[in-house]
Structure 1
Amino acid sequence: MKLVTWNCNGALRKKFHEISTLDADIYLIQECEDPLRSNDKSYRKWSENHLWAGENKNKGIGIFASHSYTLEPLNWSDQYEDHSVKHFLPCLVNKEIQLLAVWTHHNNSPTFGYIGQFWKYLQINKDNFENIIIAGDFNSNVIWDKWDRWWNHSDCSNQLEAIGVVSAYHQLTKEPPGHEKKPTFFLQRNTDKPYHIDYFYLSKSFLTNKSKILVGEQSQWLYFSDHLPVTLEF
């Protein structure tokens, strides 16, 4: 199986041809428009097998699969106490693998923005996490951990590892968190401001010595987005 996660920075209808060159089975795309409400016929055709969620038709999160894969929505909660967290899109692939697309949001939270949103979603749903792949734009890295917060990036990674879910990039490259050699994001497309904030987490049993992870080249992808696509094969 080959998967790609990419924050397309909007207007996927103008960029799906480029991301398709990666020849993935499943694409997890952040900041994309709703295909069902798009006027672009070629984009709708490309998106025939998809799931999408978002607050407005122009910017949401989507899962796009080849026709050899089935995508069934999972009814997982996004309600933590009295409010919803965002953005998360869970589904079941081929009635076998759980797939969770992630695009963490500030969500107007004075404290629990971005990785805090994922931490809350994790508390609600981690009992469901079996045979799972979690992928997307987390807007987070251990370099921003704060010592007096219990929901840091490191804490989320530790909670996942406790249930057998690990970061594919760190497992396969052996690079320590916070010292990634391959950035996935350039703030304002400035090559002097690189960060690694896009991830694949997955059940450790999926990984073998043949598994591969690849971050796209900035020379190819920065024209289209401030994020680079990340490809996982296993």
Structure 2
Amino acid sequence: MKIVNWNCNGAFRKKFKLLEQFDADIIVIQECEDPERSIDTNYKDWAKNYIWIGDNKNKGLGIFCKEVIKISNNNWQRENLKHFLSATINDDFNLIGLWNHHANSPTFGYIGQFWKYLQINKSLMSKAIIIGDFNSNKIWDKWDRWWNHSDVVRELEEIGIRSLYHDYHNERQGEESVPTFYLQKNVLKPFHIDYAFADEKEFAVIKKFEIGLNNNWIQWSDHMPILIEI
């Protein structure tokens, strides 16, 4: 099974065909339009099997699947945290797509949003894959917080969920050699802020982990797509 994640930087209705090269079974997209309320008929026809959430119809989080894939919304508690979608895939495993926001929180912005979501739903995260735009990296850890990036990684590891990139490439958190994001599309400002985590027992073997190259994708988005094959 192939899974792609991409923060498309908006206007996904004009970009979804770019992902056809991956032949992905599941596509997780940040900053995409709600297909149900889109007036683009090609986009609506493409998005036949999906779940979506967002503050407005033009920019949200979606999980899109091939029609042969069964996707069921878990409707796990979110408590206004932004933005998280949890689904069961083929009645077999849980997929959590996310797009961490600042969410106008003076304290719990970005990785703090996921830390809260993790506290609420940790007991449900069996046979789970967690993938998305975390807007976070260990390099921004604040020593006096108990929910920084490193704390979240540690809590996931305690329940048997590890980062696929770091496991596949044998790199440490905060020392990633391949960026997933270029601030303001500037190749001189690279960061690694998009991740995929997975249950280490259920998904012990990862066949592929690839990150798109900036010269192929930066014209379309400041984020590079991630492809994993399990």
TM-score of the superposition, structure 2-length normalised? Answer: 0.98
Q: Which residue of 2 aligns with 1:49?
A: 49
Q: Which residue of 2 aligns with 1:172?
A: 168
Residue 21 of structure 1 aligns to a residue in which SS? helix
Q: Which residue of 2 aligns with 1:74?
A: 74
Does structure 1 residue 104 correspond to structure 2 residue 93? no
* Alpha-carbon distance in structure 2 between the residues aligned to 1:209 and 1:226: 30
- Shift of residue 208, structure 1, vs aligned partner: 4.0
Matched to 1:40, the amino acid is D
Matched to 1:64, the amino acid is F
Which residues of 2 match residues 81-230 of structure 1 at below 5 A?
A: 84-209=80-205, 211-230=207-226
- Tell me the alpha carbon deviations over residues 68-112 of structure 1, each in whole angstroms, 9 at most, x when there is no partner: 101100121112xxxx21100101101111000000000001111
* Alpha-carbon distance in structure 2 between the residues aligned to 1:17 and 1:149: 42
Matched to 2:105, the amino acid is S
Q: Which residue of 1 aligns with 2:21?
A: 21
* Alpha-carbon distance in structure 1 between the residues aligned to 2:119 and 2:62: 23
Percent same amino acid at aligned positions? 53
Residue 27 of structure 2 aligns to a residue in which SS? strand
Unaligned residue ranges in structure 1 (runs of 5+): none
Matched to 1:145, the amino acid is D
Residue 64 of structure 2 aligns to a residue in which SS? strand
Matched to 1:191, the amino acid is V
* Alpha-carbon distance in structure 1 between the residues aligned to 2:75 and 2:110: 22
Matched to 2:160, the amino acid is G
* Alpha-carbon distance in structure 2 between the residues aligned to 1:222 and 1:22: 17
TM-score of the superposition, structure 1-length normalised? Answer: 0.96
* Alpha-carbon distance in structure 1 between the residues aligned to 2:219 and 2:18: 11
Does the Cα contact within 8 Å between 2:206 and 2:228 map onto a contact in 1?
Answer: no
Matched to 1:126, the amino acid is K
Matched to 1:105, the amino acid is H
Does the Cα contact within 8 Å between 2:168 and 2:206 map onto a contact in 1?
Answer: no
* Alpha-carbon distance in structure 2 between the residues aligned to 1:4 and 1:209: 17
Does the Cα contact within 8 Å between 2:71 and 2:90 map onto a contact in 1?
Answer: yes
Unaligned residue ranges in structure 2 (runs of 5+): none
Matched to 1:56, the amino acid is N
Matched to 1:220, the amino acid is N
- Shift of residue 20, structure 1, vs aligned partner: 1.9
Q: Relative to structure 1, is the Cα distance of residues 210 and 61 closer, same or farther in structure 2, using a 3 angstrom cutoff?
A: closer
- Tell me the alpha carbon deviations over residues 128-168 of structure 1, each in whole angstroms, 9 at most, x when there is no partner: 00000000000000000011000010000100000000100
